[in-house]
A and B are shown apart, each in its own frame.
Chain A
Amino acid sequence: GAGVSQSPSNKVTEKGKDVELRCDPISGHTALYWYRQSLGQGLEFLIYFQGNSAPDKSGLPSDRFSAERTGGSVSTLTIQRTQQEDSAVYLCASSLRLDGSTDTQYFGPGTRLTVL
């Protein structure tokens, strides 16, 4: 079956512009996660969804970052007024359940964001 897909694969934007990153999880997966991968920093957890609800937004780096999920499926990560330090690969993952601690998280290929 289809895996996690993300779009766009690459995004180049100018400082100060807003960007939207999209994630399509595996069908039937109720849990969805966003991570950021910066050079030399590993993977940084941003936010997770159980269904359409995001119980904990404390991982978002600033109030310029927001995320939503609709219909228990597609999720959008929005970055407003982008800064150069936002440049990174943004990874989305999904798993069958949020409270299934052993459930495998399946990752998408990521969106590479470059802020000029």
Chain B
Amino acid sequence: AQSVTQLGSHVSVSEGALVLLRCNYSSSVPPYLFWYVQYPNQGLQLLLKYTSAATLVKGINGFEAEFKKSETSFHLTKPSAHMSDAAEYFCAVRARSGNTPLVFGKGTRLSVIA
């Protein structure tokens, strides 16, 4: 069974500082990996996904994530935080084969301080 662990339920950064949101997965075979963002009172929006092409994946709004098989990680980063980045971020995995749903982490709430 696959699982996802997001370290830190709440991360706070200053505006302009580096954003680092951590995600580790547990799977016998490297899965497909996704990062979603949820703004207040809205649904989830895909930020980026890893589908076994380049290990460094660039997404929307300046975010990127790097797949590291040796560390079973898929951490999300952004060089410079903006106030509008304040939201909840979810890491998710999906098996490469079979009809399986997304398995989500518990989410990390990002606060950006002016």
Range for the number of chain A residues in contact with chain B: 20 to 34
| CA distance in complex: A95, B112 (Å) | 32
Of chain A, the residue at the smallest CB distance from B102 is A105
Question: Number of B residues whose C-beta is below 8 Å from A?
Answer: 27
| CA distance in complex: A109, B41 (Å) | 7
Q: Say whether A48 contacts B101, CB under 8 Å.
A: yes
Q: Say whether A41 contacts B99, CB under 8 Å.
A: no
Q: Mark B77-95, 1 if CB is under 8 A from A, else 0.
A: 0000000000000101011
| CA distance in complex: A106, B34 (Å) | 12
The smallest beta-carbon distance between B5 and chain A, in angstroms, is 11
Q: Is B97 an interface residue (CB 8 A)?
A: yes
The smallest beta-carbon distance between B110 and chain A, in angstroms, is 15
A104 and B99 in contact, given A42-B104, A91-B44 (Cβ under 8 angstroms) = no
Q: Mark A43-64, 1 if CB is under 8 A from B, else 0.
A: 1010010100001100100000
Within 8 Å CB of B41, what residues of A? 109
The smallest beta-carbon distance between A32 and chain B, in angstroms, is 11
| CA distance in complex: A93, B103 (Å) | 13
Q: Mark B1-33, 1 if CB is under 8 A from A, else 0.
A: 000000001000000000000000000000010
Within 8 Å CB of A74, what residues of B? none
The smallest beta-carbon distance between B60 and chain A, in angstroms, is 12
Q: Say whether B107 contacts A109, CB under 8 Å.
A: no
Q: Mark A1-25, 1 if CB is under 8 A from B, else 0.
A: 0001000000000000000000000
By a beta-carbon cutoff of 8 Å, the part of chain A in contact with chain B is 4, 33, 35, 40-43, 45, 48, 50, 55-56, 59, 91, 93, 98-99, 101-102, 104-110
What are 16 A-B pairs with beta-carbon distances under 8 A? A41-B106, A42-B104, A42-B106, A43-B92, A43-B102, A45-B102, A45-B103, A48-B99, A91-B44, A93-B44, A99-B99, A101-B97, A104-B46, A107-B36, A107-B45, A110-B43
